[in-house]
């Protein structure tokens, strides 16, 4: 492993740019601070991650349904949710060097930059605004959502009526969220535009403790199922002075982000939001958002247990966890040990020599309808294997001179470096088996 955690982050950031996972947004103009563009491999990794979450949280469950709401939200939604009133950070400015800091993160009353005098703390709103329509006055102000879940709350009755779900049940959504973070930093960990995977689980108030426990277990098990080292994950309950304005209880799933103070940083939050949001939106809108309980013939305002994960933070944690350096024949090999489910490229087809490329293209054609395939003919075979190891491709298929006569190719596995020879006629079946059950030979 790399020597220091700083070093590891530098390696991940550089690998992301060089290989096409993540680029700084607007880089040719000096970069837009804390905005990131996902490249060809990054977008595949992110899609695989979101698909896995959706399957786990929605498709494979009878009691959770999905939705996809507008990013620009009615401004009253954020009055109802309490964000207009509560969603700010206290900030101070240095009168000397003009730097700005979060007041609650400072240890002394002088500027940590230059030792200058600081202003009194002032609230700085974290929601990003824009204007709807041609006139940019206050009446046209709308917010881009700072969390995806409020649209779930304001649509609660619509979804409950349409799906005829009975309590307890969940509504899930994946989408972009925006926050005017003051201290946006640490690569994609904290940015101003990011993606959330949220699920609001509506239940009876007396059941919230049980569901908090249940969802904490489920969610941590999902991260482990993605291949993350369980020793790099932990649950941490919030102290009462850390709770967001909507929560009475919160547990974070934390990961060993190298830059995080104390070595652990939040990847997902699990919150007991009570009936805070439904009640507040109901009061402000004057619309009845209660659930019609046919069993008891009562109208109920359910309570909510929320699971709220960050796509970008999970991508970063997956890359950090998958990054390995090993020694092969006296040379350092960088390998991303991403799970087969998440790997952006599943199979690489590599002709041993340029002379074999037309025949190898036929193998590529055979596989392409089934998996994302990468074809590479440039450089020595060793270099091409290394390139695929570095982007986490689980299997390389090599077409060599013997393949012409015996109709077989070699499959090489990324982690064990073991190889097997397989008839091209059986290749799809064999890779399908390996994708499902793994290598299982070493």
Q: Which residues are at the interface with ligand GAP (CB under 6 A)?
A: 147, 149, 179, 181, 190-191, 194, 196, 198, 266-269, 306, 308-310, 312-313
Output 190 or 290, the one with its CB closest to ligand GAP: 190
Residue closest to ligand GAP, measured at CB: 310
State how far the alpha carbon of 295 is from the alpha carbons of 210, 275, 290, 291, 299, in Å: 22, 20, 15, 11, 10
CA–CA–CA angle 60, 153, 144 (5° rounding): 105
**Smallest gap from residue 399 Cβ to ligand GAP (A):** 43
Q: How far, in Å, CA of 134 to CA of 140, rounded?
A: 9
Q: Which two tokens stand for residue 384?
A: 């091409």
**Smallest gap from residue 197 Cβ to ligand GAP (A):** 9
Q: How far, in Å, CA of 94 to CA of 100, rounded?
A: 6
Output 52 or 191, the one with its CB closest to ligand GAP: 191
Q: Which two tokens stand for residue 237?
A: 């309950």
**Smallest gap from residue 75 Cβ to ligand GAP (A):** 18
Instruction: State the chain's maximal CA–CA distance in angstroms.
Output: 80
Helix (H) or strand (E) holding 235: strand 233-237
Q: How far, in Å, CA of 393 to CA of 227, rounded?
A: 15
Output 88 or 333, the one with its CB closest to ligand GAP: 88
**Smallest gap from residue 228 Cβ to ligand GAP (A):** 14
**Smallest gap from residue 200 Cβ to ligand GAP (A):** 9
Q: What DSSP letter does each residue of 165-181 carry, written as one string?
A: --SSEEEEEEEEEE---
Output 65 or 420, the one with its CB closest to ligand GAP: 65
CB 169 within 8 A of CB 200: no
State how far the alpha carbon of 370 is from the alpha carbons of 52, 89, 429, in Å: 18, 49, 11
**Smallest gap from residue 331 Cβ to ligand GAP (A):** 36
CB 227 within 8 A of CB 337: yes
Output 251 or 409, the one with its CB closest to ligand GAP: 251
**Smallest gap from residue 378 Cβ to ligand GAP (A):** 36
Q: How far, in Å, CA of 39 to CA of 24, rounded?
A: 10
**Smallest gap from residue 302 Cβ to ligand GAP (A):** 17
Output 151 or 191, the one with its CB closest to ligand GAP: 191
Output 211 or 375, the one with its CB closest to ligand GAP: 211
Output 93 or 268, the one with its CB closest to ligand GAP: 268
CB 97 within 8 A of CB 305: no
């Amino acid at each position: 492993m790399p020597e220091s955690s700083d070093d590891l982050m530098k390696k991940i950031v550089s690998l992301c740019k060089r290989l096409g996972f993540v680029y700084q947004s607007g880089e040719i103009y000096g970069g837009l601070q804390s905005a990131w563009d996902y490249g060809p491999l990054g977008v595949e990794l992110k899609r695989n991650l979101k698909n896995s979450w959706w399957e786990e949280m929605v498709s494979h469950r009878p009691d959770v349904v999905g939705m996809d709401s507008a990013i620009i939200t009615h401004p009253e939604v954020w009055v109802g949710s309490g964000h207009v009133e509560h969603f700010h950070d206290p900030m101070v400015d240095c009168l000397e060097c003009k730097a700005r800091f979060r007041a609650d993160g400072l240890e002394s009353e002088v500027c940590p930059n230059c030792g200058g005098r600081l202003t009194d703390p002032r609230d700085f709103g974290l929601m990003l605004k824009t204007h709807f329509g041609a006139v940019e006055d206050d009446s046209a102000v709308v917010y881009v959502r700072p969390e995806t879940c409020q649209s779930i709350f304001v649509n609660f009755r619509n979804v409950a009526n349409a799906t005829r779900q009975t309590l307890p049940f969940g509504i899930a959504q994946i989408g972009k969220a925006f926050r005017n973070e003051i201290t946006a930093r640490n690569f994609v960990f904290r940015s101003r535009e990011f993606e959330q995977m949220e699920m609001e689980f509506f239940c009876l108030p007396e059941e919230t403790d049980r569901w908090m426990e249940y969802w904490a277990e489920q969610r941590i098990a999902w991260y482990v199922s993605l291949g993350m080292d369980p020793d790099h994950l932990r649950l941490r309950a919030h102290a009462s002075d850390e709770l967001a304005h909507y929560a009475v209880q919160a547990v974070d799933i934390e990961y060993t982000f190298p830059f995080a103070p104390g070595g652990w940083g939040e990847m997902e939050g699990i919150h007991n939001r009570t009936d805070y949001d439904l009640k507040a939106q109901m009061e402000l809108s004057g619309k009845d958002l209660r659930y019609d309980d046919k069993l008891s013939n009562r109208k109920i305002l359910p309570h909510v247990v929320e699971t709220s994960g960050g796509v970008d933070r999970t991508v970063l944690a997956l890359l950090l966890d998958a990054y390995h350096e090993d020694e092969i024949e006296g040379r350092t090999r960088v390998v991303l040990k991403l799970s087969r489910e998440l790997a952006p490229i599943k199979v690489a087809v590599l002709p041993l020599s340029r002379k074999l490329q037309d025949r190898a293209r036929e193998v590529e054609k055979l596989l392409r309808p089934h998996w994302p395939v990468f074809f590479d003919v440039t450089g020595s075979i060793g270099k091409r294997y290394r390139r695929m190891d570095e982007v986490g491709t689980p299997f390389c298929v090599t077409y060599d001179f013997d393949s012409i006569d015996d109709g077989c190719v070699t499959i090489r596995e990324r982690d064990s470096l073991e190889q097997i020879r397989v008839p091209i006629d059986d290749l799809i079946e064999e890779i399908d088996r390996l994708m499902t059950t793994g290598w299982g030979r070493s």
